[in-house]
Amino acid sequence: MSAHLVKNSTTNHTVEDNLESSLYVVLWTALMYKESYMSIVDRTQFIMQVFDTDPLRGSEGFVKSNWLVARTYFPQDIFVGCKPLDNVVLELAQFFSHRYFTVPLDEQESLAQLQLSLKDALAKGGHVRTAGHQKMIDVIQSFMWESPAYKKEMGMKLLHLHDPVIKIYNKHLESFGWPDQDTATLQALHPSEKAAGCHMYTKLLCISQDVTPVRVQVTPTGKKCRLDPEDSDEILSLVVGLDDLLSFTQ
């Protein structure tokens, strides 16, 4: 699931979500079946945090979106002997990060000023431009293109298009550096209770859970009593942990 869908379980499922999901399919498969430079602990923690998102614990996709923006946990080289795989994962992460990183107001205002300056410079130059005037235009454009606000603005316009994503895949699939003899070898994960029974959530499962808070108080018997007056049966059965209620094992 895209980070956006995990954060917003009742939102509409869009093309952007499907395209972003393709990255996670590739990344999860690579982490599970391709040797990497990540330690077992780092790889296990990354998989548990990014691919095992429980919206009832308050994370709600923020770990996944934060990884897209910062790409933490990943060393300079990720997968052993497969630099094109590193490149396609990182470029896709950067591509989809435009959906989640925020641009400070002052940078948005700076971009607006640069756009006005460029418009003014182009208008003054007319059809015939001197070398000095063209250089000024080039400098303004260079500053504008490097602006985080401009990169986000342009990136957001491409997120719903298939062609830019397909182009990224094709570029790296056609590049040199893919291993000739490559087999899928299941990678070891750090043993933990969490890893033994990972909770995998789909959009349908997230929507199906009623997470409306219930006001309760603990009785001397260890049970919980509903405080809401709307229900005549005020005694609740002993509440089990959320992990037991919402365990959807692979």
Average pLDDT over residues 203-207: 52
Burial class (CB in 10 A: 0-12, 13-18, 19+), 61: buried
pLDDT of the residue at 174: 97
- C-alpha 35: how far from its chain's center? 23
Dump pLDDT digits (tens) for 88-123. 999 999 999 999 988 888 988 998 888 888 888 888
Model pTM above 0.75:
no
For residues 177-188, give the mean pLDDT: 92
What integer best gives the mean pLDDT of the chain? 78
pLDDT 10s digits, 126-175: 667 788 888 888 888 888 888 988 889 999 999 999 999 999 999 999 99
Residue 239 pLDDT grade (very low, low, confident, very high; cuts 50, 70, 90): very low
Closest alpha carbon to 46 in 6, 74, 75: 74
Stretch 46-66: mean pLDDT: 73
